């Protein structure tokens, strides 16, 4: 009994670890980009670092037991890598430069809503409004949406509780670039960030089907990283020809690349694949707001950013929505388990 409970709790613990890792990536990436690193080059380096980290592990642990890789499955993985990783990360980086970190983080929290709607359209998720769990799911989605809107449009009083210490000694993005985005540029940035998370949500949903035809999770993750490394290199070399932008020294840029590549892409992508296999894509997506909440307080401690009342209220709404949907999915799973036990008892 205890072993079963421990096993059922593992996905919940893993998603907390995943979102904590993403929070660390946000802080380091923000500091590196504020330091002048090119977005496209950064994305390529993180994918290359992840590939170098994962290839030896995949060859050692899963190469002998891996199922055959058909041409059709390879094409599906190639497209998953291109749209779900390459395009998504590049869109997010450019959108961040056109808008602000606050708005980008707020739109990122719409990922659970996007993933849920995509799963509904693909008939991978069910919404039964006549049941308690269905109403709780809908309430959770509405809470998450309200949280996103609150984070984006409402600032409120500033709560300077932790001082102004900036660990990385960088200015904010607008100060670094020396300009405030125009209305058209801001709209373009919003569109790019939203498209980033639409592709990301589609990537989460479609992974489940591809993994059924190729269940070796580590090789699956490694192949995606390898293909996205090639794709991001082609884009980066076409956009950035300045050799100085490609140089990495023993500085924060190298730390950000290594962390984003090895820890985030290399380890987190594998953990995400495990969670999707054990639960489903919506369960993973609903944990996304946790990264923003962790980032909110970590940035206040490490970067000296001031917390606003709107950020706290938006965060509370997101956590409430997260809890509501997870409770609903847990209740649905309990009902299914009880039905299976009853069927076995009758048999």
Higher-pLDDT residue of 283, 233: 233
Burial class, 85, CB count within 10 angstroms (exposed 0-12 / middle 13-18 / buried 19+): buried
What's the pLDDT at 167?
A: 56
What's the pLDDT at 293?
A: 75
What's the pLDDT at 165?
A: 54
Identify the weakest region by mean pLDDT among 96-110, 123-137, 214-228. 96-110
Higher-pLDDT residue of 15, 149: 15
Higher-pLDDT residue of 302, 331: 331
Question: What is the arithmetic mean of pLDDT over 76-89?
Answer: 92
Secondary structure string (H, E, C) spanning the chain: CHHHHHHHHHHHHHHHHHHHHHHHHHHHHHHHHHCCCCHHHHHHHHHHHHHHHHHHHHHHHCCCCCCCCCHHHHHHHHHHHHHHHHHHHHHHHHHHHHCCHHHHHHHHCCHHHHHHHHHHHCCCCCCCCCCHHHHHHHHHHHHHHHHHHHHHHCCCCEECCCCCCCCCCCCCHHHHHCCCCCHHHHHHHHHHHHHHHHHHHHHHHHHHHHHHHCCCHHHHHHHHHHHHHHHHHHHHHHHCCCHHHHCCCCCHHHHHHHHHHHHHHHHHHHHHHHHHHHCCHHHHHCCHHHHHHHHHHHHHHHCCCCEEHHHHHHHHHHHHHHHHHHHHHHHHHHHHHHHHHHHHHHC
What's the pLDDT at 170?
A: 52
Regarding pTM above 0.75, the answer is no
Predicted confidence (pLDDT) at residue 310 exceeds the cutoff of 80: no
What's the pLDDT at 233?
A: 95
pLDDT tens per residue across span 186-206: 667 777 887 888 898 888 888
Higher-pLDDT residue of 49, 265: 49
What's the pLDDT at 72?
A: 92
What's the pLDDT at 11?
A: 84
What's the pLDDT at 304?
A: 63
Predicted confidence (pLDDT) at residue 179 exceeds the cutoff of 50: no
Average pLDDT, the chain: 78
Tokens describing residue 226: 């390898």
Higher-pLDDT residue of 175, 124: 124
What is the share, in percent, of the chain residues with pLDDT greater than 90? 10
d(CA 94, CA 233): 16
Closest CA to 265 of 67, 111, 44, 112: 44
Predicted confidence (pLDDT) at residue 309 exceeds the cutoff of 80: no
d(CA 202, CA 117): 10
């Amino acid at each position: 009994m205890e072993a079963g409970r421990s096993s059922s709790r593992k996905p919940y613990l893993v998603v907390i670890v995943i979102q904590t890792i993403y929070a660390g990536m946000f802080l380091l990436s923000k500091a590196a980009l504020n330091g002048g690193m090119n977005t496209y080059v950064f994305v390529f380096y993180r994918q290359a670092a992840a590939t170098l980290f994962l290839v030896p592990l995949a060859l050692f642990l899963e190469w002998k037991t891996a199922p055959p890789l058909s041409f059709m499955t390879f094409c599906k993985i190639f497209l998953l890598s291109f749209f779900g990783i390459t395009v998504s990360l590049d869109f997010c980086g450019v959108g961040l430069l056109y808008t602000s970190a606050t708005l980008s983080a707020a739109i990122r929290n719409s990922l659970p809503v996007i993933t849920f709607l995509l799963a509904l359209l693909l008939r991978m998720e069910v919404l039964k409004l006549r049941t308690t769990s269905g109403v709780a799911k809908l309430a959770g989605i509405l809470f998450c949406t309200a949280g996103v809107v609150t984070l984006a449009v409402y600032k409120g009083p500033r709560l300077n509780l932790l001082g102004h210490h900036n660990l990385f000694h960088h200015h904010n993005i607008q100060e670094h670039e020396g300009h405030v985005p125009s209305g058209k540029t801001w709209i373009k940035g919003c569109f790019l960030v939203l498209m980033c998370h639409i592709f990301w949500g589609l990537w989460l949903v479609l992974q489940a089907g591809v993994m059924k035809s190729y269940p070796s999770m580590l090789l699956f993750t490694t192949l995606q990283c390898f293909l996205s490394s090639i794709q991001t290199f082609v884009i980066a070399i076409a956009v950035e020809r300045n050799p100085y932008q490609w140089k990495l020294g023993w500085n924060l840029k190298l730390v950000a690349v290594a962390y984003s590549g090895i820890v985030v892409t290399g380890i987190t992508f594998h953990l995400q694949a495990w969670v999707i296999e054990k639960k489903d894509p919506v369960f993973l997506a609903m944990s996304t707001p946790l990264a923003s909440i962790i980032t909110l307080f970590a940035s206040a401690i490490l970067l000296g950013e001031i917390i606003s009342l709107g950020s706290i209220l938006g965060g509370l709404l997101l956590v409430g929505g997260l809890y509501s949907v997870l409770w609903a999915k847990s209740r649905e799973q309990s009902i299914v388990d009880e039905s299976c036990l009853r069927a076995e008892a009758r048999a």
